Structure 1
Amino acid sequence: MRKSKLETAETRRRIVEVAARRFRSQGIHATGLSDLMSEAGLTHGGFYRHFESKDQLVAEACGVGFESVIEAFEDAASKAAEGEAFKSIVGSYVSTSHRDSTTGGCPIAGMGSELAHGDEATRAAAAKGFNDMVDVLAKRIRRRNADASHSDAVFAMAAMIGAVTLSRIIADPEASASVLQTVKQHLGAD
């Protein structure tokens, strides 16, 4: 019996969500399609009914991952005191909870070097996600002109991604937390 379009869309959404978690926690190349499909409650053979390639799935999963980061940014900003939205976003991103959440969080912090080696669609999804995060930050930076706010937001986002990535690499918990703290201080979010 054929699935309805709604059931097919729901199955595809489930695969993308599982992939978004798996790719961030294990990496793109270390995530096999069989295990991913099994976690989604499906067989490996069903993968190609939904996607042309693993690369297509990576690009879509990357987009879903960025959507969750943007939602977290907006949530942090909405809960901040007047004039403190930028600090709140930086504080929530550059945190031990983000560092320790390997199945969630920022796709660039979780898969950056692999995304750089991805196909054109994957790199485009990562670039769009980065630009979307920068835009959210730029709206919360108080500068005289939009160009200066955007420039500051690019710098801040690059520092934030680097801090989380490095803190995940460093095994010593105190040294790892120190990286996060130092970047927050330099961004004026401490």
Structure 2
Amino acid sequence: MPRVSRDQAEANRLRVTRTAAKLYRASGLERTSVADIMESADMTIGAFHRQFGSKEALATEACRHAFAEICLHWQQRIHRDGATQAFARLTADYLSTRHRDGSGEGCAAAALAGDIAHQPAHSPLRKAFIAGVQHFAAIMGEILPAALSPKKRRRRALAVYATLVGAVTIARATKGDAISEEVLEAATDAVKLLRDN
């Protein structure tokens, strides 16, 4: 088999990473096999071993990629709409039934937190997840009132983020029951209160 160019190898790696990020968010780390990922990416298992070496290395890179996607989306929206409008639109999108139902395209924290909780404390995957949470919380702080002190802004950002992630996690687990939509609606009210008080 002919060797691929460096550019093609990088494109292939990104394709596998994107595919893994989507499948891990949709089905979880344990229920998604390397074979599933490579088949969805239309690549061979041999390519996986050349590019990543281990499932943990791929999961770590996929986790970083998933957080980078949502962080970039939020930053672009903040830049385009300004803090107040961005807060309203981004939190409404996050707490929508579309996000609840589309875990493969959604937030890594809401999709993977349960899996990550079972990872060893010093694993690269857990460290990547924590870095993603830290980055997202910092972005959340950008859309909170400027009058808040840095300490209050960080605490409020973490409270809003935890409310968003917790609500979507519960809404996904209760999908099909009326409480699922109730949770999303209650969280919408809660994040507005957190922002304004």
| Shorter-chain TM-score above 0.5 | yes
Match of 1:95 in 2: 96
| Secondary structure, counterpart of 1:188 in structure 2 | helix
Match of 1:161 in 2: 165
1:55 and 2:59 are equivalent in the alignment: no
| Secondary structure, counterpart of 1:172 in structure 2 | coil
Report the residue type matching 1:71 in the other structure. Answer: L
1:167–1:179: 8 Å Cα contact kept in structure 2? yes
Match of 1:144 in 2: 148
The worse-fitting range, judged by mean Cα deviation, of 111-120 and 9-18 is 111-120
Match of 2:9 in 1: 8
Instruction: Report sequence identity in percent.
Output: 26
Match of 1:77 in 2: 78
Deviations 1:128-173 (A, max 9, x none): 1111111111111113311110110011101110000000000334
Count the aligned residue pairs: 190
Structure 1 residue 92, shift from structure 2 partner = 1.7
CA 1:165/1:77 → structure 2, altered by over 3 Å: closer, same or farther?
same
CA 1:155/1:53 → structure 2, altered by over 3 Å: closer, same or farther?
same
| Secondary structure, counterpart of 2:182 in structure 1 | helix
1:68–1:105: 8 Å Cα contact kept in structure 2? no
Structure 1 residue 27, shift from structure 2 partner = 0.8
| Secondary structure, counterpart of 2:105 in structure 1 | coil
Q: Supply the distance in 2 between the matched residues of 1:177 and 1:51 (Cα, whole angstroms).
A: 40
Gaps of 5+ in 2: none
Report the residue type matching 1:39 in the other structure. Answer: S
Deviations 1:112-136 (A, max 9, x none): 1111223511111111111111111
Gaps of 5+ in 1: none
CA 1:178/1:80 → structure 2, altered by over 3 Å: closer, same or farther?
farther
- How big is the alpha-carbon RMSD for the aligned residues of Structure 1 and Structure 2? 1.9
The worse-fitting range, judged by mean Cα deviation, of 54-63 and 65-74 is 65-74
Q: Supply the distance in 2 between the matched residues of 1:61 and 1:114 (Cα, whole angstroms).
A: 14
Q: Supply the distance in 1 between the matched residues of 2:46 and 2:82 (Cα, whole angstroms).
A: 51
Match of 1:127 in 2: 130
Structure 1 residue 78, shift from structure 2 partner = 4.3
Report the residue type matching 1:187 in the other structure. Answer: V
2:83–2:143: 8 Å Cα contact kept in structure 1? no
Alignment TM-score, normalising by the size of structure 2: 0.89
Match of 2:37 in 1: 36
Match of 1:176 in 2: 180
Match of 2:28 in 1: 27
Deviations 1:47-96 (A, max 9, x none): 11001210010011011111121123234434546633323322221221
Alignment TM-score, normalising by the size of structure 1: 0.92
Q: Supply the distance in 1 between the matched residues of 2:140 and 2:175 (Cα, whole angstroms).
A: 29
